[in-house]
Amino acid sequence: MILTSFFAALGQIGDPRFRRVLLLGIALTIALLIAATSGFVWLIGILTADTLTVPWIGEITWFGDIITWGSFFLFFILSIFLMMPVASAITSMFLDEVAQAVEDRHYDLPPPTKVPFGDAVVDTVNFLGVLIAANILALIVYAIFLPAAVFIFWALNGYLLGREYFTLVAMRRVGRTGAKELRKKHSGTIWLAGILMAIPLSVPLINLLIPIVGAATFTHLYHGLTGAAGRGRTSSYR
């Protein structure tokens, strides 16, 4: 069922609504990272002195410039690693459109319950915080268990992505409480599907598609697990 859901999602990757969410998520992510980088560099510039006096050498007037540029490049490198989790979290605010596109094409269903935009923003902020914090803390584990780092990365992000995307999709049909109950009931399947989404996370550019493909995959997976009636290529879910 996981692979069937995944390939059904890939088959719809050219959908205009998919592209819209992808471009919107990337644009907002880039804007947020630029703003965060600018704010970080500005704060470092405020907190550090412009000059440094070193014994036997004297006053170094370009110390402030080194700190500023060093901070910029440090945050730039961090932004590369944060690009995917930030894009994933931001895009999650608009994944209802992806799920609806999947349901319009593959399923005969009544309109879902819309998640209020304010709730979507709160969920996005929470997901972003958990995703970034978990991956930062995981750096320590990677260093300790270096040979297994890639598997730990897949397992951790697979769990987080599966948990988030399945909840977002299921909430549209059964509410937050119902989504949590379904997630607990099918936790193993959801985790495995999340790992499938996490494997390409380290591939540049392709990883930006993961929020879209993930939302579409978990929409199919949700309906497969709950026995929703489909049409066309997904009729096997009946």
The full DSSP string for 24-82 is HHHHHHHHHHHHHHHHHHHHHHHHS-S-EEETTTEEETTHHHHHHHHHHHHHHHHHHHH
Residue 23 pLDDT grade (very low, low, confident, very high; cuts 50, 70, 90): confident
Tokens of 31: 């804007």
**Is the pLDDT assigned to residue 232 strictly greater than 50?**
no
Question: Is 235 a residue whose pLDDT tops 50?
Answer: no
CA pair distance 5, 91, nearest whole angstrom: 20
Residue 231 has pLDDT above 50, yes or no: no
What is the arithmetic mean of pLDDT over 76-105?
73
Number of domains composing the chain: 1
Mean pLDDT of 119-148: 80
Summarize the confidence of residues 126-146 as an average pLDDT: 82
CA-nearest of 148, 181, 179 to 165 is 179
Is it the case that residue 133 has pLDDT exceeding 80?
A: yes
Q: What is the dihedral of CA 137, 35, 159, 192, to 10 degrees?
A: -130
Predicted confidence (pLDDT) per residue in 147-173, tens digit: 888 898 889 888 988 988 898 889 888
Q: Is the pLDDT of residue 141 over 70?
A: yes
Tokens of 81: 């690693």
Band of residue 52 on the pLDDT scale cut at 50, 70, 90: very low
Domain holding 168, by residue range, is: 2-237
Whether residue 221 is predicted with pLDDT greater than 90 in this model: the reply is yes
pLDDT at 111 over 80: yes
Q: What are phi and psi of 166, to 5 degrees?
A: -65, -40
pLDDT of residue 97: 86
- Which of 131-145, 194-208, 219-233 is predicted with the least confidence, judged by mean pLDDT? 219-233
User: Average pLDDT in the 15-28 region?
Assistant: 83
Q: Using CA atoms, how far apart are residues 152 and 202, in angstroms rounded to an integer?
A: 13
- Does the structure show a pLDDT above 60 at 64? no
Percent of the chain with pLDDT over 70: 70
Structure tokens given for 5: 């859901």
176: number of CA atoms within 13 Å, CB side? 5
Q: How far apart are CA 153 and CA 138, in angstroms?
A: 8
> In whole numbers, what is the pLDDT of the chain averaged over residues?
77
Q: Mean per-residue pLDDT for 88-96?
A: 72
The helix (run of H) or strand (run of E) holding residue 150 is helix 149-185
115: alpha, beta or left, given left = phi > 0 and alpha = psi -120 to 50? beta
User: How far is the C-alpha of 233 from the C-alpha of 230, rounded, in Å?
Assistant: 8
